[in-house]
A = this chain, B = another copy of it.
Amino acid sequence: MMSAWQVTADGDPQDVLEPSEVARRELPPAPKPRSPILHPSSPVPLAEIGAWHDEADVLIVGYGGAGACAAIESAAAGADTLVLERASGGGGTTAMAAGHIYLGGGTRVQKACGYEDSAENLLRYLEASADDSDPEKFRLYAEGSVAHFEWLVSLGVPFNDSIHEARTNMQQTDECLIWSGNEKAWPFCELATPAPRGHKVAREGEAGPLLFAKLHESALAAGARIQNDTRVLTLVIDEKGGVAGLVARQDGEDRAFRARRGVILCAGGYAMDEAMFRRHIPRLAGRVMAIGNPYDDGAGLRMGLAARGAGIHLADYHITLPFYPPASLTFGIFVNAQGQRFVAEDAYHGRIGELASRQPEGRVYLIVDEPSYGRPEIDGFELAATEESIADLERALDLPEFGLQQTVDYYNRHAERGQDPLLRKQPHWLRPIKDAPFAALECSLGKAPYMAFSLGGLWTKPSGEVLTEDGEVVEGLYAAGRNSCGIARSAEGYASGTCIGDATFFGRLAGRAAASRSARSE
């Protein structure tokens, strides 16, 4: 059930992480008995700690994109910084990714490629993408996006001044910009001026490992200590509930580490933990593949929750229906069990995945004619039917009589004129569906290769400080990346590169904030 992805014993992050395959785990059908509990994450009282094995100003739990950026800033601010990572090398899910970072507001690459963007425009887009914007985080991200890009460049992260225009979810080239969200699709295109914002690190294939290698170099250069093969088990809390350190298993021993200033949780999402996935996203459990690295098991999140941190958006996720490439399928139409359309087909595959997964009974087909037909390049899409007429296709799919015919007639009549009054697919992708044979790709939930990961996490201030349900700070506790809830919080609005953008940006803020906190007095 766990994927083929394995952590090796080698310490070099570029070698440790196999970038070629995204780890996937198929969840079994619900319901099942819960797994035995191996690692309770409830905090240990400070009074029970006999002696500290080691200490630092700032302890960072997890060494992916968020943890590395937190370490760089914390160490650069002069704090003694110690990173503890379970795997034998760093990288986390960041180093498994294609290496896109969602940035805008007028970066060097956007300008070189001739695209106008601004902080205000980026903010409008981000706000349109969430039903619950965190005003301060969204504003900071929009205003700080260009500077964050420049900071990455200053660490040696390379970006080419080029754009990859194809509609794809698996860019293999080393061009930089892609349209990685819903920028050109309705209604987003009317709410903010479209601009491409996925910035890929300059490397062919998956560029996540190169991104992480540069972050790793900088963390070491800044003086951060990194300890691998170290599994953090629990936080240590003082009599007031503040975080004073943690307990980790290292070299076969449970060891206590003291945090003079703070602990930053950067240990990733919970998609790979079957029980948490089922508990918080039951609608999708057993019907999608969870994606992430094997250690995206929510351990850091559970520790934070048990230390009084509030969990927000825990039921939110990114889901994808990766039906393109080939982009020509965008000329098709998605229909539900009523034979009705429900989404502009030129939207991002994540938005389409979410809306498709919510159709009645989860039943969805992609209808195309011969000139547009192609098989998605991701395995797992089946052909539900092919017929010589739409009427026959309707019968073959057992759709309500005349339902699909009526939908296709209506679509064609307007597509001829370059219009989509129903859902406003943009004119570029409008073409009547009229040349037999006609095909229906199976896109139903549970049958098509939907993939998902968690977006929810601890409720944090932009500084990474963790808040309780009362809105009070848990003293000494910070979170970033998918241990926190960041700017990515809605399946309908997600864009590729948002998680790495958020993790690196707010990881930095957390590192700085923890480093500048007053040291504990004991």
Contact = CB atoms under 8 A, between A and B. Distances in A.
B34 A471 contact: yes
A503 interface: no
A308 B306 contact: yes
A468 interface: yes
Interface in A10-46: 30-31, 34, 37, 39-43, 45
Interface in A260-314: 275-276, 278-280, 282-283, 285, 298, 301-302, 305-306, 308, 310-314
A8 interface: no
Contact of A39 (B48, B302, B312, B470): B470
Interface residues on A, range: 35 or more
B279 A312 contact: yes
Interface string A394-418: 0000001111001000100000000
A338 B422 contact: yes
A305 B310 contact: yes
Nearest to A316: B315
Of A48, A305, A402, the most chain B CB neighbours within 10 A belong to A305
A223 interface: no
A99 to B, nearest CB: 31
Tell me what chain A mostly uses at the interface: helix, strand, loop, or mixed. Answer: loop
A469 B276 contact: yes
A41 B472 CA distance: 10
A406 B402 contact: no
A283 to B, nearest CB: 5
A241 interface: yes
Contacts of A358: 358
Interface in A351-381: 358, 360-361
Contacts of A406: 406, 410
Contact of A283 (B132, B341, B342): B132
A131 interface: yes
Contacts of A361: 187
A252 interface: no
A141 interface: no
A451 to B, nearest CB: 19
B30 A132 contact: yes
A239 interface: yes
A383 interface: no
A338 B338 CA distance: 14
Nearest to A340: B340
Interface string A34-64: 1001011111010110000000000000000
Contact of A470 (B42, B131, B132, B469): B42
Given A37-B472, A401-B421, A406-B410, 14 more contacts: A42-B308, A42-B468, A47-B239, A132-B283, A132-B285, A302-B468, A302-B469, A305-B308, A305-B310, A313-B315, A338-B341, A338-B342, A342-B360, A400-B421
6 contacts: A31-B134, A31-B135, A45-B239, A302-B470, A311-B311, A406-B410
